[in-house]
Amino acid sequence: MNNAEQRARDAGLSVVDWDLELDEKFRRQLPSASAGQAMREYSRDKGMFYSSAARGFFVVTSHAMITEALKNWELFSSVGGHFLYLRETPAHRPLPMQMDPPDHTKVRALLAPFFTPQRVQGRFKEDAVALTREIIDRVTTLGSCDAISELAEPIATAITLNNMGVSPSLARDLTQAVRARSNPSTVGQDKKTYEQGVFTIRDVFLEILAKRRVERADDIPSALLDARVDGKPLDDDTILNLCCTGFSAGVHTSSTQMGFAFYYLASKPELRRQIVENPGCIPTAIDELLRFESSAVMGGRTVTRSAMFHGVKLEAGDRVMLLTLAANRDPAIFENPDRIDLNRKPNPHLSLGGGPHRCIGSFQARMIMQTLLEEWHRAIPDYWLGDMSNVTYEMAITGRMSAVPLQFAPRPIH
Ligand code: HEM
């Protein structure tokens, strides 16, 4: 038993072998089912438990405690990374996620102008509407489609490409790499797939950066090449890292999120009807669907010094998982947390994070989701789930379904 596990036991926390990397169970159920079990059975009234799996880590599930930890970056550092539930720390270190203020604040400020509501609602919105209509037009004649690979990923990739300076012709090839890169593994074939994803995206951005060094454009790679932090340019590794991470973060999270949204809407006709009859509820529906099943499952933090946290003695180096997906069902915050209420307001879910690292792409994500939900329900108001027998799930930093098969009456080709 390690020292952290002993301190967890001393504080009366449950100690569970909760192994996200190797336990097959997590591939067979929705991430919210796993997170819900963690909150109800393991955390109980303590708001946290300890997992003895991998290198051992605390898991916090209470909404209030996670909100506090997200803000307290001086105690809960992001530098050690999110992947603390893995057996080893992956070599790749995504930025700006794995930075703390004050450096984090300066680097984030360089990216912020590319994610403002004005930028997102302007050209990007027009592109999103045009592309969404084109894709929906194509699938309506088929009578079936996968909501992730055929709807959400092409749209999320195309909009994210705009900011990153990537040629649209590469969109299809990059999708697989983004999927692989988004959830690292340190074992077997999954480890090789992950590393391949990292290398593929890195090579694309090495090429883009080489071109931008010669001629700048209105995109993030160009801005980072011109950027100065404390009067100095960013080093090449940091620039490359920020480009690769920004691209993957934008595509993977928003497309898996739309997959979850379609899964619930396709399985619950009364929710679908609400959207069709009252499209004005889509903005609150997006937040509720984000709360209920989020592509961002958790945040990883490392403790910086000895401190008491809600009755638990923490020491420097302790790994802490903030299980935001569980917090989103916390009955202390949400009335009827296991019910989807598309008009829920206020809705202080933690799916877009909180504190200094709160998602920088949230306007873009909301715009893409709103566009897709509006256009889809106008064109195809009635649809249902297809064969789910081969669908698998992922419960890691991000959660996902391998596919969301939709069926609907095909429109005749004229
Ligand atoms: C529904 C879709 C999305 C979800 C659920 C989501 C979720 C999150 C969460 C939870 C964080 C905080 C991570 C932490 O605490 O360390 C985060 C940060 C971030 N997100 Fe998103 N995200 C989404 C879409 C996007 C998009 C579209 C982009 C960019 C195009 C993006 C780029 C980023 C970046 C760069 C960060 C790091 C911010 C920082 O460390 O300061 N995300 N996201």
Question: Mean pLDDT of all residues in the chain?
Answer: 93
How far does the centroid of ligand 1 lie from the alpha carbon of residue 269, in Å?
A: 30
Report which ligand 1 atom has the smallest distance to the Cα of 294: 5
Q: How many CA atoms lie within 13 A of 23 on its CB side?
A: 16
Q: 3-state class of 402 per DSSP?
A: coil
Q: Is the pLDDT of residue 173 over 90?
A: no
Mean pLDDT calculated for residue range 274-302: 97
What confidence tens digit (pLDDT) does each residue in 361-373 have? 999 999 999 999 9
Q: What is the dihedral of CA 140, 142, 144, 147, to 10 degrees?
A: -60
Q: Is the pLDDT of residue 184 over 80?
A: no
Query: What integer pLDDT is reported at residue 187 of this predicted model?
Result: 72
Q: 3-state class of 198 per DSSP?
A: helix
How far does the centroid of ligand 1 lie from the alpha carbon of residue 246, in Å?
A: 8
Q: Whose CA is nearest to atom 38 of ligand 1?
A: 357
Q: Is the pLDDT of residue 268 over 70?
A: yes
Mutate which of 71, 253, 292 for ligand 1? The one with the most ligand atoms within 8 Å of its CB, which is 253
- Kindly indicate the confidence band of residue 414, based on its pLDDT and cuts at 50, 70 and 90: low
Q: 3-state class of 309 per DSSP?
A: strand
State if residue 184 touches ligand 1 by the CB under 6 angstroms criterion: no
E strands along 156-250, which residues? 228-229, 232-233
Distance, in Å, from the CA atom of 11 to the CA atom of 9, rounded to the nearest integer, reads 5
Among 149, 274, 248, which Cα is nearest to 194's? 248
Q: Is the pLDDT of residue 183 over 80?
A: no
State if residue 274 touches ligand 1 by the CB under 6 angstroms criterion: no
Among 62, 123, 120, 56, which Cα is nearest to 85's? 56
State if residue 357 touches ligand 1 by the CB under 6 angstroms criterion: yes
Q: What proportion of the chain, given as a percentage, has pLDDT over 90?
A: 80
Query: What integer pLDDT is reported at residue 334 of this predicted model?
Result: 98
Distance, in Å, from the CA atom of 105 to the CA atom of 207, rounded to the nearest integer, reads 28
Among 144, 67, 139, which Cα is nearest to 375's? 139
Query: What integer pLDDT is reported at residue 411 of this predicted model?
Result: 80
Q: What is the pTM of this model?
A: 0.95
- Could you write out the DSSP letters of every residue in 59-121? EE--HHHHHHHHH-TTTEESTT-S-TTSSS--S---TTTT--TTHHHHHHHHHGGGG-HHHII
How far does the centroid of ligand 1 lie from the alpha carbon of residue 45, in Å?
A: 30
Separation in Å, CA 131 to CA 194, 277, 334, 368? 29, 24, 36, 11
State if residue 246 touches ligand 1 by the CB under 6 angstroms criterion: yes
Distance, in Å, from the CA atom of 26 to the CA atom of 43, rounded to the nearest integer, reads 18
What confidence tens digit (pLDDT) does each residue in 31-62 have? 999 999 999 999 989 999 999 999 999 999 99
What confidence tens digit (pLDDT) does each residue in 87-131 have? 888 878 899 999 999 999 999 999 999 999 999 998 889 989 999
User: Which domains are seen in the chain, by residue range?
Assistant: 3-90+100-393 (1.10.630.10)
Q: Is the pLDDT of residue 413 over 70?
A: no
Q: 3-state class of 300 per DSSP?
A: strand
Q: What proportion of the chain, given as a percentage, has pLDDT over 70?
A: 99
